[in-house]
Every structure is written in structure tokens, then in C-alpha cells.
Chains A and B, each alone.
Chain A
Amino acid sequence: MAEKRRWSFSTVLLLLFFIILAVMALFPLYALFLASIKPSSELFRYGLNVRLDFDVMTLANYKAIFAGEGGSTHYFSWYKNSILITSLFTVICLFLSSMVGYGLAMYNFKGRNLIFTLVLAVMMIPVEIILLPLYRLSIDLSIINSVWGVILPFVVAPLPIFFFRQFASGIPKDFMDAGRIDGCSEMGIFFRIMIPMLVPAFGAMTILQAMFSWNNFLWPVIVLRSTENFTLPIGLASLLSPVGNNYEVLLSGAVLSILPILLLFLMFQRFFIEGLTVGGVKG
């Protein structure tokens, strides 16, 4: 029997409604892209607009950023730093948090509830409160102005721990006993049996943590002191300086900075949504 898809009046109404919403969501990104292929003099004269004026369109803003003009000398160092920090952060964060979340979910041990309560406490308390002492601590540990300074304080994150714990709670403990009977060590069970079962959770968390790291601002702006060590968001913000806004490189730089995370999202999208659905907060 052929599937019948009737388009009722309410379906059309819903579709129209969502088309308007989607346009509103994508409009600012479109405006940014359009502005990036127009000379910045246009921007100063008319403001951010969406006039399609093919005569003035140019790739000059992109040429400028590749030539390192207008304060963008370090743009590609920032790019490199961002990629390095995001990759290291995401890999280490997922590895350690999945371990902790798994340990909390699968074992009964003394202090388990206390540790889980502490995880929730760290989740509830804004890290912004401890910025100043953390800044002094990173000077003392000599990780200030370095990649590790950005990564280390936040790499064991409460949110993915909580998420992995939720996800692992849904896995029957029989798998562990089967592994033990086969002579697997406790670590072996985690690495060989559990990690493959946690793949959807890893997919969801890869995107969330990479997004967090790629877009992170407050801590990096404090811990990274020299221009060549900046990450992309900090670098872009530094182009918006009071002495003169370098809109040519700002706009093309902003557009280029979205690409890697967009690519990652497109690659992991399926896992992302699947993982959220299975591991979502249960009632």
C-alpha cells in the first residue's frame, strides 16, 4: 500500500510558520556573509543590510585577511591555536569524563553519592566566581598564556560526566559480568566493551564540547596574554578595538571562523541527535 501523505491545512500553516522561523534564524548569518563580500565602506555608509548589489561585490576582504592586513597578522595563528585547543580539549575531556561517568554509573562504592553530589555542585556553581584565584593559580602552575592553561582547569567537566553517567546507567550490568567471566580486567571492560557501547554518547558530547571549546571566551581571554597565542574568538574581539574597527578582516575572519565547527556538526549531526535522545535527562 502506497504511503498516503495528505497535506492538510494545518500542515501548510505549520510549514509556513517554520519557514519564517528558519529564515529569521539564518538571516543574521546570511547578512554577515553578504557584508563580508562587500567593501567595508558600504558597511560604514549604510550599516549591515541585505541589498544584493552585484556591482560592489568583491573578495577584497578575504584577500586582506590572507595577506594579514589591518591587524590580522596573527589570524591564522589564532586559527591554528583554536584547532589545537579544541582538538586536545575535546579528546581529553571526553576520555576523562566518560571514565568518571561510567565509574559513577556502574560501580557501588563508598563515597559514590558524595562524588556525584560534588559533580552536580560544580555544575550548579558558575566558574566565573573563581576566575581571579584561578588566574593566580595558573601563574603559580606556569600554565598561564599557554594551550594547557586554557585546557587543564576545565577539561574534567561536570556536564559530560553527568551525561555519560545517565547514558551508562541504561546499559545492563550483565555485560560487565560477561566480560569478567571472559577474563577481562576492569579497565579492559571499560575500554573493550563499554566504549563501543557509548558511541552515541561520544557523538553527542563531541559536538557539544567542541562547540564549547571553539567558542569559549571568558577564560581564554584571561589566561592568554600575548596576541599570537589568542584563539579565534579572542582574536576577533581584539580586532574590534577602540582605536579603529578593522571591519574588512573582522567580517571575513568571522565567516571563516564558523567553517570548522560547521563541518564537524555536519559530520556528527546524526550521532548528535541520536545521542541526545538516548542519553537525555530521564524522568
Chain B
Amino acid sequence: MKQRKSRLKIGNSQQIAPYIFVAPFILSFIIFFSYPLFQAILMSFQSVLPDQVTFVGLDNFKKLNNPSFYKALYNNFRYTIYTVIVLIPLPLILAVFLNSKMMRLKNMFRSALFLPALTSVAVAGIIFKLVFSELDGALMNTFIQWLGFDSQKWLYYPGLSMFALVVIATWRWIGINILYFLSALQNIPKELYEAADIDGAGVFSKFYKITVPLLKPITIYVLTITIYGGFAMFTESYMLWGSRGSPQDVGLTMVGYIYQQGFQYFDLGFGSTIGLVLLVITLGVSMIQLKFMGLFGKED
């Protein structure tokens, strides 16, 4: 009798326990995610002043039709595309090299390439603001003079500024992405390559027929965080140009625009509207990804 009772109790708790385990997420999701998200949608139809909230219909959305917003949108798209082009294939190939039998001192190089990731964007920003300084003796100008070009005012022109931003992203992210790819490479069974060797497959056909397909899930993951990081970029630009913004908005991003409108002009309604556009874009990108690639290579 006693035995049965205790089994019942355990049975009960096995029903309840999972909900206790996931409770922190549910609470946090309600308080710090869905409620603010709901508020953001509401605020985008309002004019929000400290004591006065009025419904303004689509006014905030009409305000989106301005050069700064288009500039921010354009900058984000360019930055995201460039970072994807650089930060997916390059780390993948480097990881394959690092994983190859011919390579020596793997751990040392892996750590060396990872170290920049430990620095904050703030510190990276301080360094690269100096590296891309307009002074003749600054690192980047010294380098291009050595290549035979004139010194440049890097942070004043759209193309050069974008280059600086992509360099910072590459420097800080390449080591992390290499680690992701390496971890996936080490999970590929060696037998597959041995079998391919027996069939007489060459280095390149092994890479395309075995490595690339088996790295698909991790590639999708890295792609996702890179796209996400691209559209959410703010701090790099804040550090290079300061809180007052960049000349002709060369470094303005959507999040930078939210920050400017919300915390410098206190136009919370319009700031939320910009956020909604960002939401629509990221949802759109996720949908495209889901359609073409599946979700992290389909979980069970």
C-alpha cells in the first residue's frame, strides 16, 4: 500500500516537474519579451511623450519615408551581405585546414585566432578607430602607402567606412566561427573519408561530397547568427563615430536609428516603428531560411 502511494506521488511529480523546469523561460518570455513586443506594436501607432500618449494612426509609418531611414536600411543590408560573404566561407576553409592531418600546432593557432573575440566591441572600436584614423602615420594609412596609395579619410566616406566595419566584424568573429565549424568537423566519422579514399576520390571531391553536406546544419546556424548580427549591428558604429552619429550617416544602422530617435529625440513612438520594420525584415529572412534550408537541419 505504502509502495503504491509513493509511486503515485512520483508519477504526479513526473507530470509536474517539466513545467517547473521550463517555468523560468515562460516567466521571462511573458514579462520581458511578449509584453514589450506588444507594447512596441502599440507604441508604433502612438505619439509617446512623457505625460501624454496619443493615438496617431499611421503617422509614424509615414515618417519612415526619409533619407536617414533609407540610409540605415541600405547600410544594414550591405553590412549583412558582406559579413555573410566573408564570415561563412573563410572560417569554413580555415577550419578544414586546421583540421587536416598535415597541420601542426592546431591548438595554438585556434586560440590565437579566437583571442580577438574576447575583446569587447568597445575595446575593438577604440583600437580600430585609431587603426582607421586619418593621420598619415596610422596603421591602415601606413599600410596603403606601402602599397603605393595615398592616405585616406577612412571614416568619412561610405565605401571606406563599410570596409572598416566589415574588417572589425571579421577580426572579432572569425575565430568563433572557426570554432563552430571545427566542432562540427570533428563530429564527422573518419570512416567516410577512408571509404572515399578507397573509391579514389580526390581532395576536392571529398570536400564537396562529404565535408560540405555534413556541415550543412552548423553552416545554417552560423549563417543565422551572422545575419542576425548584421541587422542588429550598432555598437561598432557607435564606437567609431560616437553617439552623435556619422558624417552623412555613413555608419547609421537601423538599431542606431532606434537609439537616436528613442533616446536622443525621445520619440518613442517612431523608434518603435523602426523596430517593427526590423522585426518584419528578420522574420522575412527567417521564413526564407526555413523554406530553403529547414530549421538547423531538422531536429527530431
Contacts and interface: CB of A to CB of B under 8 A. Distances in A.
A128 B278 contact: yes
B118 to A, nearest CB: 5
B21 A180 contact: no
Contacts of B174: 25
Nearest to A155: B28
B202 interface: no
Nearest to B254: A128
A280 interface: yes
A134 B271 contact: no
A218 B255 contact: yes
Given A31-B131, A217-B235, A18 B109 contact: yes
B130 A283 contact: no
Interface string A126-161: 111111111111000000000000001111100001
B26 A115 contact: yes
- Say which size band chain A's interface belongs to: 35 or more
Nearest to B35: A137
Contacts of B103: 11, 14-15, 18
Interface string A177-213: 0001000011100100000000000000000000100
A91 interface: no
Main secondary structure of the interface of A (DSSP, over half): helix
A122 interface: yes
Nearest to B253: A128
Nearest to B279: A129
Interface in B176-201: 179-180, 182-184, 186-187
A242 to B, nearest CB: 6
Interface string B107-120: 01111111111111
A257 B120 contact: yes
Interface stretch (A58-66, A68-76, A101-109): A101-109
B234 interface: yes
Interface string B217-248: 11001001000100110110011001010000
B265 to A, nearest CB: 12
Q: Which 6 pairs of residues, A with B, have the shortest CB-CB distance?
A: A103-B21, A47-B138, A47-B135, A215-B120, A233-B122, A133-B39
Contacts of B57: none
B26 A8 contact: no
Interface in A222-243: 222, 232-234, 236-237, 240-242
A47 B32 contact: no
Given A137-B35, A137-B36, A280-B184, A25 B22 contact: no
A100 B22 contact: yes
A113 B113 CA distance: 38
Contact of B278 (A31, A126, A281): A126
Contact of B24 (A99, A137, A232): A99
